[in-house]
Amino acid sequence: MAPIGTLWGFSHQIQTKVIRSVAALNDLELEQPQWNWSDRPAGFTSTFTYGKIPAFEGSDGFKLIEGATIARYVCGLGTKVNLLGSDAKEIALIDQWMHFSEQEIGAPSHNILGVIYGVSGPFNREVLDKQAERLVRALTYVETYLATRSSDYLISDSVTLADFFLAGEVYGCCHASLGAAERAKYPSIFAHLAKVTGNEKVKEFWGTEDFTEVAVTEPRELPRF
């Protein structure tokens, strides 16, 4: 099967992992040029003038930016696995959990990284603590919800795009915000993460080797990709 298009982004990026995963579940092939911020692939800047990744260019020339939008579109191209819901309620719940994952888990996690790496200004302990509290509140809510589920997944008895978004944002927390001690407080969340990312078709895009053992609470130098 010919590739459905080109995905611009780097492999460490959560949204890139999600997009590649949902494509793989439906046996859809994506081209992904090697990405380097300081030496962007030829053709990217002229095609996507805003310069944001991930970005998608279909084999028919159709272009998209924004990770959630690309992920939905790729899911819609698949015929093997329905990741977008079977009725209006499931569709709404998928949207709900995608937004919750990005705004209530991803946002404070990204803010914590901004404080740690100095992106948002000089290191500020008060801001760090407030964002950590916000993250704990969200994770506690999700942990309680998952613990009541008879299914392994958020919405139905099978995986949906929402599960990948939750797994992705939780995965992102584990590089700085959640050390081993913190992760142990959320057994249902991490069982869900293992289930979603452990599928044979997608596990190559994920891995726990970069997870921090101790939550990072002090300034660090910004990594370069």
How confident is the model over 152-177, as pLDDT tens digits? 999 999 999 999 999 999 999 999 99
* Residue 45: band (very low, low, confident or very high) from pLDDT cuts 50, 70, 90: confident
Query: What is the mean pLDDT of the segment spanning 36-43?
Result: 79
In a shared domain, residues 170 and 104: yes
Looking at residue 69, what is its pLDDT?
Answer: 98
Give the up-direction half-sphere exposure of residue 32: CA atoms within 13 A in the CB hemisphere.
Answer: 19
Burial of 160 (0-12, 13-18, 19+ CB in 10 A): buried
> Residue 13: which CATH number?
3.40.30.10
Looking at residue 168, what is its pLDDT?
Answer: 98
In a shared domain, residues 69 and 154: no
How many angstroms separate the Cα of 114 from the Cα of each of 10, 128, 171, 222? 19, 9, 17, 9
Q: Which residue, among 19, 120, 139, has the nearest Cα to 75 in the 3D structure?
A: 19
Q: Which of 38-47, 90-99, 144-153 has the lowest mean pLDDT?
A: 38-47
Q: Which of 35-49, 56-70, 110-124, 126-140 has the lowest mean pLDDT?
A: 35-49
Is 224's pLDDT higher than 70? no
In a shared domain, residues 69 and 175: no
Query: Is residue 144 assigned to a domain?
Result: yes
> The domain containing residue 159 runs over which residues?
88-205
8 A C-beta contact, residue 22 and residue 78? yes
In a shared domain, residues 29 and 96: no
Query: What is the mean pLDDT of the segment spanning 136-163?
Result: 97
Is 42's pLDDT higher than 80? no
In a shared domain, residues 44 and 121: no
Average pLDDT, the chain: 95
Domain termination residue (choose one: 57, 77, 97): 77
Residue-wise pLDDT tens digits, 58-100: 999 999 999 999 999 999 999 999 999 999 999 999 999 999 9
Looking at residue 56, what is its pLDDT?
Answer: 98
Kindly state the tokens that stand for 190: 């991490």
In the chain, % of residues over pLDDT 70? 99
Query: What is the mean pLDDT of the segment spanning 100-104?
Result: 98
Domain count, the chain: 2
Is 219's pLDDT higher than 80? yes
Does the CA dihedral 66-72-77-83 come out positive or negative?
positive
Instruction: Compute the distance between CA of residue 206 and CA of residue 20 in angstroms, rounded to an integer.
Output: 10
Query: Is residue 216 assigned to a domain?
Result: no
User: Cα 145 from chain centroid?
Assistant: 20
Residue-wise pLDDT tens digits, 177-204: 999 999 999 999 999 999 999 999 999 9
Looking at residue 225, what is its pLDDT?
Answer: 55
Query: What is the mean pLDDT of the segment spanning 136-153?
Result: 97
